[in-house]
């Protein structure tokens, strides 16, 4: 599939910003080949990544399909958002923007890294964040990046990493579950500073015994039959907890819980 770069907005929220093409993923060593464009452009496109996405995916699906209140996700950001934060799989930035608004008077000197493989998501979130935090001094950097590849961040460089409602979308061609997505946990552990937080949530798969509504079960099955929406049939809480321990070690403080059909985690190094 051919890809024409969409506009990218980076800079700070003082009112100055620099538009330019959304780049391919980079590593600390330099550029790497461009990531594949998301195949479901009827989901990830400039028309849907905004009020439509917020209304259906966040406003309806979270609670009615996956059994999680948006209050839980807002609380994750309010509790763990650090001064240098990386958001991986940004969606429309709904929860991130809410947390930034609630601490608007304390954004000067903070830095925000937005990492996503979808140009539409990056453009929507970066524009919204810059518009809502203009004049605060928040620095924003948006990078196109495959979450399963090396993130374009140095070791021990951020205070928090958030990845909410994203892991269930990552590829798992062999149906192994979370082991196919373990790179996200190891990269989070790599870029976090001592004392930093890794938090997020994801919809569990049908192999996990977590309760799910009848409508949620049907929707999860439909999403898993469409390319690049859900790939979570084998995702279980037991797998995730084991991988979390491998990535962060025994010294980290961890809290992992199931809310409806959703796994929620909080880790402090």
Report domain extents, the chain: 64-268
pTM beyond 0.95:
no
The CA distance from 62 to 60, in Å, is: 6
pLDDT at 211: 97
pLDDT score recorded for residue 40: 65
pLDDT of residue 201: 98
Sequence-distant (6+) residues with CB within 8 A of 12 are 137, 138, 139, 140
The pLDDT assigned to 48 comes to 79
Closest CA to 133 of 93, 191, 162: 93
Residue 12, pLDDT score: 61
The list of the chain residues with pLDDT below 50 reads: 1-10, 15-37
Closest CA to 40 of 155, 171, 203: 171
Residues 7 and 21 sit within 8 Å (Cβ to Cβ): yes
Question: d(Cα 263, Cα 121) in Å, to the nearest integer?
Answer: 23
pLDDT at 229: 87
Instruction: Give the span between the Cα atoms of 113 and 85, in whole angstroms.
Output: 6
pLDDT score for 179: 98
The pLDDT value recorded for residue 3 is 21
Write out the DSSP string of 194-215: EEEEEEEEEE--TTS-----HH
pLDDT of residue 44: 74
User: Which CATH class, in words, describes the domain spanning 64-268?
Assistant: alpha beta
Please report the pLDDT score of residue 58 as a whole number: 95
């Amino acid at each position: 599939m051919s890809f024409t770069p969409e506009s990218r907005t980076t800079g700070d929220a003082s009112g100055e910003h620099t538009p330019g093409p959304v780049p391919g993923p980079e590593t600390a060593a330099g550029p790497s080949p461009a990531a594949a464009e998301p195949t479901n452009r009827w989901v990830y496109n400039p028309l849907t990544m905004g009020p439509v996405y917020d209304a259906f995916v966040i406003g309806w699906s979270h609670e009615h399909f996956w059994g999680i209140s948006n209050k839980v996700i807002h609380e994750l950001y309010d509790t763990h958002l650090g001064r240098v934060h990386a958001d991986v799989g940004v969606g429309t930035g709904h929860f991130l923007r809410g947390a930034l608004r609630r601490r608007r008077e304390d954004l000067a000197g903070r830095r925000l890294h937005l990492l996503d493989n979808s140009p539409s998501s990056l453009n929507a979130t970066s524009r919204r964040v810059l518009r809502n935090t203009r004049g605060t001094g928040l620095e924003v950097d948006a990078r196109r990046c495959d979450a399963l590849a090396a993130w374009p961040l140095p070791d021990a460089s951020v205070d928090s990493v958030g990845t909410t409602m994203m892991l269930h979308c990552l590829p798992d061609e062999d149906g192994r579950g979370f082991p196919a997505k373990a790179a996200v946990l190891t990269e989070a552990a790599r870029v976090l500073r001592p004392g930093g937080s890794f938090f997020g949530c994801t919809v569990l798969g049908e192999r996990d015994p977590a309760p799910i509504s009848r409508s949620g079960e049907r929707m999860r099955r439909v999403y898993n039959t469409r390319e690049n929406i859900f790939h979570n049939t084998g995702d279980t809480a037991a797998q995730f907890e084991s991988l979390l321990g491998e990535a962060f070690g025994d010294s980290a403080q961890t809290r992992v819980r199931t809310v409806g059909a959703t796994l929620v985690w909080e880790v402090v190094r």
